[in-house]
Structure 1
Amino acid sequence: MTATDPAIIHLTQGWCVLSLLHGKIDAHLERAPHTGHDLSVREYSLLDVLSRQHDGEGGHLQMKQVADAVVLSQSATTRLVTRLEDRGLLERCLCPTDRRGIYTNVTEAGLALLRPARSTHDAALREALGEAATNPELAPLVRAVESLDVAGRKVPA
C-alpha cells in the first residue's frame, strides 16, 4: 500500500471526519461544564465514571481502568484525582481484599456537584450532536453514535 492507494486515502478521509466530529463535540462540551459548575470536561468525566462504581464484585475500578475510561494516561489521571480530592470531591480508600490497591470514590460533595453538571453535560452533548447532524459529512457519524448499543443499553436520544 502506498500513500496514493485509494484504500489508504479513504481511511485517512474517514479518520479526518471522525476527528472533526470529536473536536466539535469536545469543544462544545468543554464550554458547557465550566458554565456554572466549575468542572472541566476531564473533571466531569472522571467524576461521572467514578460515580458509576458500586460495591461488590467488579464494582470498583483500578486506576488503570479509570485512566482508560477517561482516556488519559495513568499519571494524568492520578494528578486529576489528586486535584479533585483536594477540592473534597473525591476520596481514596484501601481495597479491602488487597492492601496494595487503592480505590477512589466520589464524595457527597462530588455527587452534589455532579448531579446538575450531568444535566448540563447531557444537554450540551445533545446540542453538539444536533449541530453536527446538520453537516452532511458528519451526519452519518452522528447517526452511528446515536445508535450505539453500549453494554446492552441504547444511548438515549
Structure 2
Amino acid sequence: MTATAPALTALAHGWCALSLLHGRIESHLEHALQTGHGLSVREYSLLDVLSRQHDGEGGHLQMKQVADAVVLSQSATTRLVTRLEDRGLLSRYLCPTDRRGIYTNVSEEGLRLLEQARPTNEAALREALAEAAEDPQLAPLVRTVEAIRTPAAVAAA
C-alpha cells in the first residue's frame, strides 16, 4: 500500500478528525472547569474516577488502575494525586491487607468540588459537541459519541 492509497488517506483523515474533535472538546472543558472551579480536565477526571470507588471487594483502585482510567503514566498520575492531596481534595492511606499498596480517596472537600463541577462539565461537553456538530467533517463523530450509552442509561430507557 502506498502513502497515497485511498484507504490509508481515509484512515488518516478519520484519525485527524477524531483528534480534532478530542482537542476541541478538551479545550472547551478545560476552560469551563478552570474558570468555574479551578480544576483542570485531568484533575476533574481523577476526582471523578476516584469518587466511584467503594469499600466492597475490588472497590479501591491501585495507582496503575487509576493511571489507566485517566490515561496518564503512573508517574504523572502520582504527581497529579500529590497536587490534589496538597489542596485537600484527596487523601492517601495504606491498604489494610497489603502494606505495599497505597489507596487514594476523595476527601469531603473534593467530593463537594466534584459535585459542583459536574454540571459545568456536562454543560461544557454539550456545548463543545453542539459546536462540533456544525462542522461537516466532525458531525458523524459527534453523532457516534452521542449514540454511545452506558449500560445504566440503556437499562433506564
- Do both share a fold (TM > 0.5)? yes
Number of residue pairs matched by the alignment: 154
State the identity %: 77
For 2:153 and 2:6, the matched residues in 1 are separated by 35
Q: Tell me the C-alpha RMSD between the 2 structures.
A: 1.3
Conserved? CA contact 1:92–1:102, under 8 Å: yes
Gaps of 5+ in 1: none
In structure 2, the residue corresponding to 1:92 is in which secondary structure?
A: strand
For 2:38 and 2:18, the matched residues in 1 are separated by 29
For 2:148 and 2:63, the matched residues in 1 are separated by 26
| Partner in structure 2 of residue 125 of structure 1 | 125
Gaps of 5+ in 2: none
For 2:36 and 2:10, the matched residues in 1 are separated by 42
Of 31-40 and 81-90, the range deviating more from structure 2: 31-40
Q: Deviations over 1:27-66 (max 9, x none)?
A: 1011011113111111111111111111111211111111
In structure 2, the residue corresponding to 1:149 is in which secondary structure?
A: coil
For 2:91 and 2:62, the matched residues in 1 are separated by 14
| Partner in structure 2 of residue 64 of structure 1 | 64
| Partner in structure 1 of residue 142 of structure 2 | 142
* TM-score between the two structures when normalised by the length of structure 1: 0.93
For 1:17 and 1:80, the matched residues in 2 are separated by 29
Conserved? CA contact 2:50–2:104, under 8 Å: yes
* TM-score between the two structures when normalised by the length of structure 2: 0.93
> What is the CA distance between 1:93 and its match in structure 2?
1.2
| Partner in structure 2 of residue 111 of structure 1 | 111
Structure with higher helix content: 2
Conserved? CA contact 1:132–1:139, under 8 Å: yes
